[in-house]
A and B are shown apart, each in its own frame.
Chain A
Amino acid sequence: MKRTISLLVENKFGVLARIAGLFSARGYNIASLAVSETLDPAISYMTIVVEAQDEKVLEQIKKQLNKLIDVITVTDFTKKEHIDREMVLVKINYSLSVKAKIESLLHKYVGKIIYSKGDDAIIEAVGDQAQIKALLEALDKFGVKDLIRTGKVAVGY
Chain B
Amino acid sequence: MKLTGSNILIESLKKEGVEVIFGYPGGQVLPIFDALYDASLKFILTRHEQAAAHAADGYSRATGKVGVCLATSGPGATNLTTGIATAYMDSIPMIAITGQVKSFLIGNDAFQEADVTGITRPITKHNYLVKDVKELARIVREAFYIASTGRPGPVLIDIPSDIQLAEEEFVWPEKIDIRSYKPTYFGHPGQIKKAAKAISLATRPIIYAGGGVITSGAEGELKELAEKIKAPVTWTLMGIGGFPPTHELALGMLGMHGTAYANHSIMESDLIVAVGARFDDRVTGRLDAFAPHAKIIHIDIDPSSISKNVGVEIPIVGDAKNILKELIKGIKKLPDTHEWLKTVEAWKKKYPMRYKQDGALKPQYVVEEIYEATKGKAVIATEVGQNQMWAAQWYNCSEPRSFISSGGLGTMGFGFPAAMGAKVGRPDKIVFDIAGDGSIQMNIQELATCVCNKINVKVAILNNGYLGMVRQWQELFYKRRYSQVCISGPDFVKLAESYGAVGIRVDKKEDVRPALEKAIATDNTVFIDFRIEPEENVYPMVPAGKAINEIIGGLA
Interface residues of A (CB under 8 A from B): 9-10, 13-14, 17-18, 21-22, 25, 56, 59-60, 63-64, 66-67, 69-72
Contacts and interface: CB of A to CB of B under 8 A. Distances in A.
B307 A59 contact: yes
Nearest to A73: B180
Contacts of A22: 122
Given A21-B121, A69-B125, A10 B180 contact: yes
B308 interface: yes
Contacts of A67: 302-304
Given A14-B117, A14-B129, A21-B121, A70 B304 contact: no
Interface residues of B, number: 18
A72 B179 CA distance: 7
B176 interface: no
A150 B118 CA distance: 27
B304 A60 contact: yes
Contacts of A10: 180
B191 to A, nearest CB: 16
Contacts of A18: 121
A69 B307 contact: no
Interface of B: 117-118, 121-122, 125-126, 129, 146, 178-181, 302-304, 306-308
Contacts of B181: 69
16 contacts: A17-B118, A17-B121, A18-B121, A21-B122, A22-B122, A25-B122, A60-B304, A60-B308, A63-B303, A64-B304, A66-B304, A67-B304, A69-B178, A69-B181, A70-B180, A72-B180
A40 to B, nearest CB: 11
Q: DSSP class of A's interface residues: helix, strand, loop or mixed?
A: helix
A10 B303 CA distance: 21
B122 A69 contact: no
Contacts of B121: 14, 17-18, 21
Nearest to A22: B122
A115 B308 CA distance: 51
Contacts of B302: 67
A66 B302 CA distance: 10
Nearest to B127: A14
A67 B125 CA distance: 9
Nearest to A9: B180
Contacts of B180: 9-10, 69-72
Contacts of A14: 117, 121, 129
Nearest to A14: B117
Contacts of B122: 21-22, 25
A64 B305 CA distance: 9
Given A14-B129, A69-B178, A70-B180, A63 B304 contact: yes
Nearest to B302: A67
A137 B126 CA distance: 46
Contacts of B178: 69
